Amino acid sequence: MPSSAPPPSPDLARSADVRRDNDHYHPTGDSIIRVENTLFKIHRFPFLRHSPVFATMFDLPIGAGVPEGASDDFPIVLAGETASDFRAVIKYMYASPMQLQIGSIPVTALLEVIAVAKFSHKYAMDQWKEWAGTIIGRYMADLKALPAEHIPSLYALFSSLGVKRSARTLLMERWCEIVERQNDPIGQILIAADAARDTDGLVAIYCIQIRRWEKAASISAPEDGVDPTHFQRILSGHASLTLAWNRLRTHEPPSRFQDARCNGGGSPKFHTERCLPYSRILWVAATVDAERCYPHITQIVSRISHLGKHIQQNVGVHPSDADATTVTCFNAVIKRFHQINMQEAHKSLASHFFPSLT
């Protein structure tokens, strides 16, 4: 390949914003493709061989004028692509077999591989799609080793290709982890999850913001990049979560769990003097411990589960003088708690932000 591109045509000279690509304007190429404001001169054969879409494109009837792709003035225009992505595709299509070996592709080239994956999916280049997918899968095996700057592009790719939800979820979880740890703005990740219609992803991001509010971050207005719709949804979800927990965070078991009469067969006086105080001690200890173990309101599902386990494990243990009648009475509280309120534990966290999911 010569060190410099051929001299531009007269029309190109008059159009300074359109230029020939420095690396892929091959003198022996037989078709000129324009992507954005860059002209690429490539060989048709690899595209014909790997893509039925390009085969059809190159086979379109030629009219009376100059056929598309025959000159700089009449290129084939690929709309919706970027010059950088197309450059990455050509790079690997022109690479040697040795350079295409899976193990020889460094993580620094992942954005190029993502470009190949997107392009090959769009133009039905199955062999290249499989090649790119294998490399991406290799790096998905250890997300902690994946450079953070590659995650947004990879997430967008998975969303557009309809990759199985579990893989996309893993990426979103890792992205959220990075955003929260680095205290990054949530605007970019919020836009990505919204575009992908990723409800679970949106909820995870909303929870990040709520935890920031718990650390005294301002809630007077949304931060830059956060749509008012999302801001209102976060506010509503926060209120819903807080209300749900406050129904349980009382000085004694709520009336829906604790009867006014003794379920152990004791008298009304016995129930008032022995059963209710015993219930209060266990209930308050359980709620306090649940909040200690799970300090964020966004952990309400874990809190409720812990509340039930703590109570069950401590029945008959504290106080030590609890008699059989008192324990039997409180066992009814436990049973009713599991029957009624464990529904809240199994309730989707998303339903606090998206009531229609209830």
Per-residue pLDDT of the chain (358 residues; tens, 9 = 90+): 444 444 444 444 335 689 999 999 999 999 999 999 999 999 999 999 999 999 888 876 666 566 788 889 889 999 999 999 999 999 999 999 999 998 889 999 999 999 999 999 999 999 999 999 999 998 888 898 889 999 999 999 998 887 778 889 999 999 999 999 999 999 999 999 999 999 999 999 999 999 999 987 667 667 777 899 999 999 999 999 999 899 888 877 777 788 888 888 889 999 888 888 888 888 888 999 999 999 999 999 899 889 888 887 876 565 556 788 888 888 888 888 877 665 665 567 899 999 887 6
DSSP H helices, 94-227, are: 110-122, 126-140, 151-161, 165-182, 187-195, 199-214
DSSP-derived secondary structure letter, 184: -
In a domain, 294, yes or no: yes
CB 193 within 8 A of CB 201: yes
104 Cβ contact partners less than 8 Å away, ≥ 6 residues apart: 98
In a domain, 171, yes or no: no
In a domain, 335, yes or no: yes
Which among 145, 139, 151 has a CA at the least distance from the CA of 184? 151
- Round to whole Å and give the CA distance between 261 and 258: 8
What is the number of domains present in the chain?
Answer: 1
Which among 300, 280, 283 has a CA at the least distance from the CA of 350? 300
In a domain, 274, yes or no: yes
DSSP H helices, 252-317, are: 268-270, 276-293, 300-314
Q: What pTM was computed for the model?
A: 0.80
* Residue-level pLDDT at 6: 46
Q: Which domain holds residue 314?
A: 249-340
Would you list the DSSP string of 63-130?
Answer: -SSPPTTSBTTBPEE-TT--HHHHHHHHHHHTS-GGGG-GGG--GGGHHHHHHHHHHHHHTT-HHHHH
Which among 144, 192, 187, 147 has a CA at the least distance from the CA of 168? 192
* Residue-level pLDDT at 358: 63
In a domain, 278, yes or no: yes
Residues 246-282: b if buried by 16+ CB within 10 A, e if exposed: eebbeebbbeebbeeebbbebeeebbeebbbebbebb
Token output for 156? 């967008």
SS3 24: strand
In a domain, 107, yes or no: no
Tell me the CA distances in angstroms from 72 to 7, 64, 106, 196, one per residue in order. Answer: 11, 18, 35, 38
Token output for 114? 């993502």
Q: State the Rg of the chain over Cα.
A: 31
In a domain, 31, yes or no: no
In a domain, 84, yes or no: no
